[in-house]
Structure 1
């Protein structure tokens, strides 16, 4: 798993994604005004994704499955990609828990 900080031309240009070994995005962050805030977001995801109580399991309007990771104050710090079913979503959660703490940050 790798973590890729990103920068765009938006008003709040900093964000990040967690990508699995196959290159699929597992979660993405909100946008941040400052790079330091995005780095704090990465650490928050690493910490909070280890606890089941921090996951909000959801279904999109088209029936796809996804999840949010929330911090201790209830703020969403990461939103997953859409998955075809609960089994695929749960596998992504397990992969995130197993690999996020040792994931390399790849600056592009």
Structure 2
């Protein structure tokens, strides 16, 4: 199964996206958007920025968990990862986003 973006509406009515790897695991989640068009723009921004190492901010929480954010050229966060128990897990997550996001299809679950 190929990687894909899922575009959906949350309980508050906001449009959101998540990037799923080929195995179905969520590897990146976007923020809430007020319109579907803005959410689609967010997806396009992920596709454009994903290959660039400089767009990733690696983080470590106080509890010893690791995560990352993907940022656009204007330094706005456009996607966040899950928490990982190791730096290698986080780095594998980044590699997966870099590999999968640019060519991922969009599955619109709001239709």
TM-score (norm 2): 0.90
Q: Is the 8 A contact 2:57 2:69 kept in 1?
A: yes
> Equivalent residues in 2 for 1:24-103 (5 A)?
24-103=25-104
2 CA distance for matches of 1:65 and 1:81? 8
Q: Which runs of 5+ in 2 are unaligned?
A: none
Matched length: 107
Question: Is the partner of 1:33 in helix, strand or coil?
Answer: coil
- Cα drift, residue 61 of structure 1: 2.7
Question: Is the partner of 2:103 in helix, strand or coil?
Answer: coil
Query: Could you give the per-residue CA deviations for residues 10-67 of structure 1, whole angstroms, max 9, x where no partner exists?
Result: 15x1010001112111010110001000000001111111111111100123211100
2 CA distance for matches of 1:85 and 1:5? 29
RMSD (Å) for aligned C-alpha atoms: 1.1
Q: Is the 8 A contact 2:50 2:102 kept in 1?
A: no
TM-score (norm 1): 0.93
Structure 1 match to 2:4: 2
Runs of 4+ in 1 over 4 A off after TM superposition: none
With 38-47 and 97-106 compared, the bigger mean Cα shift is at 97-106
